[in-house]
């Protein structure tokens, strides 16, 4: 049977929304969990994990993080990665070099943090008084905060935990050895495989985009990305469907009957792997989903933080949720202009809202 778009859609949904497991195993299987600070009604990382971790509650990742084999780090975006993936990207050489003065400040801060074991940015700022500096979007922020961010990115510090959402830093134990050319190629291939396993099946354009995004996690190997992409296309499973080249892990078969989405309703995070690729989204479901949190309110079409509404293997609409006074408020929109006239859908939607209330701690 020729591979069709229906096969790819069912495969995408079923392989990503795997049977709920433990938190460490879910992050390991995902390979990377994108983080976002907006809470509407919960942060993106929590909304992503609630479908894949048994009994997950909002904030569990942050609460348990200090005891888990995870790191906050930059991969294709900022988020949470298993330590083996974290080590693959280090020692990291940023594209923008620091001056001698910046390195001198960094070494002083590193000694300060090492003496204490861990440090909050306000402690660093109070001790050193670095003042203000222009940030990347042209505004002003604490120079100490920018320095700590840079030290974290360079692998001098790690995030030990969060306090009220703010990163608390500790010295990072550097166990990385600079890679020779052969090792660097192998590491790039491993990074590409993480991308593919999280977002498969991938249109060729998205695969190229994500390999390009690896310049954030491994800028030191920027010149190796094109060759890594070419090698990936040769070894991955692939097919041309409706004029588009698609790629997936070589050992998997998207047409297999094993890929059967559940008969459930799910409210997905805007950055959930099922919805992340907007090109794939439109190919699978025939409409354009947009993340509008940073769109001026009068120009929004879906809402501030619209969650894609998945029914079986179809995204049929969206929902904006808020929690206040111990209650969950819901505002739904549907591509067809109305919800399905289906008793099964009504039952499954109510079950999903019940799961959401439990996840948010609104179930008493």
For 283-313, what is each residue's pLDDT tens digit? 999 999 999 999 999 999 999 999 999 999 9
Residues 6+ apart with CB under 8 A from 152: 72, 158, 159, 167, 169
pLDDT value at position 221? 95
For the beta carbon of residue 199, count every other beta carbon within 10 angstroms.
Answer: 23
* Residue stretches of the chain with pLDDT short of 70: 1, 131-141, 364
Is the bond preceding 41 in cis, omega lying within 30 degrees of 0? Answer: yes
pLDDT value at position 50? 98
pLDDT value at position 132? 64
- Which stretches within the chain are classed as H helix? 5-16, 23-30, 44-49, 60-64, 83-88, 100-116, 121-128, 143-153, 181-199, 204-217, 225-235, 278-285, 343-360
pLDDT value at position 328? 96
Domain ranges for the chain, please list them. Answer: 100-171, 265-360
* Cα 292 to Cα 294: distance, rounded to the nearest angstrom: 5
pLDDT value at position 1? 66
For 115-149, what is each residue's pLDDT tens digit? 999 999 999 999 997 766 655 555 556 788 999 99
Q: Which two tokens stand for residue 76?
A: 């294709």
pLDDT value at position 254? 98
pLDDT value at position 179? 86
Domain 100-171 has CATH 1.10.10: yes
pLDDT value at position 176? 78
pLDDT value at position 4? 97
- The model carries a pTM of 0.94
């Amino acid at each position: 049977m020729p591979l069709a778009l229906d096969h790819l859609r069912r495969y995408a949904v079923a392989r990503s929304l795997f049977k709920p497991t433990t938190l460490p195993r879910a992050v390991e299987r995902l390979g990377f969990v994108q983080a976002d600070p907006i809470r509407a009604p919960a942060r993106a990382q929590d909304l992503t994990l609630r479908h894949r971790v048994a009994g997950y509650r909002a904030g569990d990742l942050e609460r348990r993080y200090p005891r888990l084999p995870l790191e906050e780090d930059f991969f294709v975006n900022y988020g949470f990665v298993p330590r083996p993936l974290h080590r693959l990207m280090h020692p990291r050489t940023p594209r923008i070099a620091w001056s001698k003065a910046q390195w001198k400040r960094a070494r002083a801060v590193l000694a300060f943090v090492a003496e204490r074991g861990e440090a909050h940015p306000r402690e660093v700022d109070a001790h050193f008084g670095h003042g203000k500096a222009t940030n990347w979007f042209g505004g002003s922020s604490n120079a100490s905060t920018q320095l700590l961010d840079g030290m974290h990115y360079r692998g001098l510090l790690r995030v030990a935990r969060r306090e009220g959402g703010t990163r608390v830093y500790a010295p990072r134990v550097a166990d990385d050895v600079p890679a020779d050319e052969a090792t660097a190629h192998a590491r790039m291939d491993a990074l590409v495989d993480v991308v593919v396993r999280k977002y498969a099946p991938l249109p060729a354009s998205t695969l190229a985009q994500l390999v390009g995004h690896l310049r954030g996690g491994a800028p030191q190997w920027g010149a190796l990305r094109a060759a890594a992409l070419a090698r990936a296309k040769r070894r991955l499973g692939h097919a041309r469907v409706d004029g588009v080249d698609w790629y997936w892990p070589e050992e998997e078969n998207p047409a297999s009957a094993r890929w059967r989405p559940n008969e459930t309703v799910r409210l997905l995070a805007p950055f959930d792997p099922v919805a992340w690729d907007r090109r794939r989204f439109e190919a699978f479901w025939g409409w354009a989903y947009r993340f509008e949190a940073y769109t001026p309110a009068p120009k929004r079409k879906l809402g501030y933080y619209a969650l894609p509404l998945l029914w079986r293997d179809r995204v049929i609409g969206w929902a904006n949720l808020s929690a206040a006074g111990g209650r969950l408020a819901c505002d739904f929109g549907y591509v067809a202009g109305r919800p399905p006239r289906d008793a099964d859908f009504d039952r499954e939607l109510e079950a999903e809202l019940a799961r959401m209330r439990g996840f948010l701690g609104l179930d008493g």
